[in-house]
A = this chain, B = another copy of it.
């Protein structure tokens, strides 16, 4: 390719940062205890509420998404307490590992990767575990492209236990309809570098009143990720530790963009990009990892074929200038993953599909030129 540094970043996070957001991040630095920083913290937290579907404060942590996952565990679960983790992929697995590290008695409900956790499966699993303190769910499982039916799962949990419902929304919040309060989610976390279009470096945690009750009763060694400290400081319009201020500058621009496009339009755009991607991949005869009914609007996993493996496709795409992600853990080499979230539009999807046609051809596949692009265009333009 002529330009080494020119590429299309289509991994499921980090995602491209809009120029307008980069520009905002270049504002001259300010003090973290200034009135301007207080305004930023207050307004960013408030304006994130509709994105989470909550009227609760959205706490802002400086860290990777995993820092928020850990906060959700360490603030709610004491050693020896029982938790259930629905593991549908690498990030459910991470929740289980963190809970184990913090001494919880972890009951893993392992679902084959590529499938969603069904309400029935969870219901049966919870039947013999009534004393569980928290159930951990993954909304979009980034490692497989599955969107778990969090609303229905939360209903099951509330009906059969007193457990907190704790949800990883890292690759869903901002790209998929999220109704934390209406669905009965108690703790909902996300990161900055997915549908929220920022560089990695901030994490967000929203907490229900019921969860605060549990958190106040849960002793444990925590300081940097002590959610009560963030909550108390947010009431005073500040953060306990110096926050990622450049990211806050950028977040303000992101929230402007979200409000201008409108959440419903954003969610429709993500569903459209998912459908275009799936139609295009199918038109090339490549198998999708997930069923349509549980497919995530933000990320699509594609399997290799008997003759052409997923890693080879990923590498060939990289040569052409399109960057997709590999599979994780036991899916490594078996799938590649296309991110279509955040600062991504239908034309970006067509570009990726066009590159996929060429990559497949160069690896010896039979390709009718324009097949993937055409199928996606048809989806885009159907009435």
Q: Does A281 contact B (CB under 8 A)?
A: no
Return 21 A-B CB contacts under 8 Å, by A number.
A5-B28, A7-B28, A11-B31, A13-B242, A14-B29, A14-B31, A14-B245, A17-B28, A17-B246, A25-B246, A62-B62, A66-B223, A66-B224, A67-B224, A70-B224, A79-B221, A101-B223, A103-B221, A193-B245, A221-B221, A244-B244
Asked whether A199 and B29 contact (CB < 8 A) given A103-B221, A223-B101, A224-B67, the answer is yes
User: In the complex, A242→B243 CA distance in Å?
Assistant: 17
User: In the complex, A116→B326 CA distance in Å?
Assistant: 53
Q: How many positions in chain A have a CB within 8 Å of any CB in the partner chain? A: 55
Q: Does A174 contact B (CB under 8 A)?
A: no
Q: Does A102 contact B (CB under 8 A)?
A: yes
- A101: B residues at CB distance < 8 A: 221-223
* A contact set with B: CB distance below 8 Å: 5, 7, 9, 11, 13-17, 22, 25-26, 28-34, 62-67, 70, 74, 79, 97-98, 101-103, 191, 193, 199-201, 220-225, 240-247, 323, 325-326
Nearest-neighbor residue (CB-CB) of A36 within chain B? B5
B242 touches A323 (CB 8 A): no
A34 interface neighbour in B15, B62, B323, Cβ under 8 Å: B323
A66 interface neighbour in B67, B241, B245, B246, Cβ under 8 Å: B241
A201 interface neighbour in B22, B193, B246, Cβ under 8 Å: B246
Contact residues of A: prevailing secondary structure: loop
Asked whether A64 and B221 contact (CB < 8 A) given A11-B31, A17-B29, the answer is no
B31 touches A9 (CB 8 A): yes
**Extra contacts besides A62-B201, A199-B246 (17): CB < 8 Å:** A14-B29, A14-B32, A25-B26, A25-B199, A31-B325, A33-B325, A62-B62, A62-B200, A66-B224, A70-B224, A79-B221, A101-B221, A102-B221, A193-B242, A193-B245, A200-B244, A220-B221
A223 touches B15 (CB 8 A): no
User: In the complex, A11→B36 CA distance in Å?
Assistant: 15
B33 touches A242 (CB 8 A): no
A26 touches B29 (CB 8 A): no
- Closest CB-CB distance, A262 to chain B, in whole Å? 25
When A and B form their complex, which 6 residue pairs have the shortest distance between CB atoms, in order from nearest?
A199-B246, A201-B244, A64-B241, A200-B242, A66-B241, A70-B224
- A65: B residues at CB distance < 8 A: 241-242
